[in-house]
Amino acid sequence: MVIPIIIHGNKTLREIALEANIEDKATHDAFILDLIDTLKTTETGVGIAAPQVGNSVRIFISWADRNRISSSKPIIFINPEIVEAKGSKKMDDEGCLSVPKVYARVERFQKVRVKYLDENWEPQEKLFKGFEARVIQHENDHLNGLEFFDHLSDVELKKIQYKLDELSKGNIPELEYEYILEG
């Protein structure tokens, strides 16, 4: 089932998400399938976090393969923790499904080591590099109430502030996916 994506200005995007509980495994597993279905409806999305669809739980998926829909499976992250961020940082353009049609250059680490539970609720620890590392840092930020533009300098933030204000007012560009403003 496709879930509407919430847009910047919705308070859920600023909440710190709660841990997913194994006792609610069946509910979470069904939700993860819905999260995948939701991401598939987007043209540009390479990841999505539970808070982006109004569920403040520590789950996100990364589909960092640019041919994601046809050639790969997403990686499921349940209760992820970035335990190490290392290597050089790199500036690159970032956008967000919850901040549609707004892009900015964000500096991120090139390597991150993540501890998480996979789709089978099995513990994993893995090093991710490059684009995958960027997507993971972006989605993990959502679990901590952060949006990508929170990493910008004041000067860079001013360049996109008008667009952020417009989104907060409900002036949403035409999108290929369902969305929610309220909250």
Catalytic residues: 139
If you average pLDDT over residues 31-37, what whole number do you get?
Answer: 96
What's the confidence (pLDDT) of residue 43? Answer: 83
Band (pLDDT 50/70/90 cuts) for residue 72 is confident
What's the confidence (pLDDT) of residue 33? Answer: 96
Q: How far apart are CA 6 and CA 64, in angstroms?
A: 21
If you average pLDDT over residues 36-57, what whole number do you get?
Answer: 94
Within the chain, residue ranges assigned H as helices are: 25-40, 68-71, 130-143, 154-168
Look over the chain and give the mean of its residue pLDDT values, rounded to a whole number.
93
What's the confidence (pLDDT) of residue 176? Answer: 87
CB 61 within 8 A of CB 38: no
Domains annotated on the chain, with CATH: 5-180 (3.90.45.10)
Q: Is the pLDDT of residue 142 over 90?
A: yes
What count of other Cβ atoms lies within 10 Å of the Cβ of residue 124? 15
Least confidently predicted of 67-76, 97-106, 162-171 = 67-76
Return the structure tokens found at 5.
Answer: 């994506």
Q: What pLDDT, in 10s, does the model give residues 1-21?
A: 999 999 999 999 999 999 999
123-129, strands of its sheet edge to edge: 47-49, 59-62, 75-96, 99-117, 123-129
* Ramachandran class of 8: left when φ > 0, alpha when ψ lies in -120 to 50, beta otherwise: beta
What share of the chain has pLDDT > 90, as a percent? 82
Q: What pLDDT, in 10s, does the model give residues 77-106?
A: 999 999 999 989 999 999 999 999 999 999
Q: pTM for this one?
A: 0.94
What's the confidence (pLDDT) of residue 79? Answer: 98
If you average pLDDT over residues 147-157, what whole number do you get?
Answer: 96
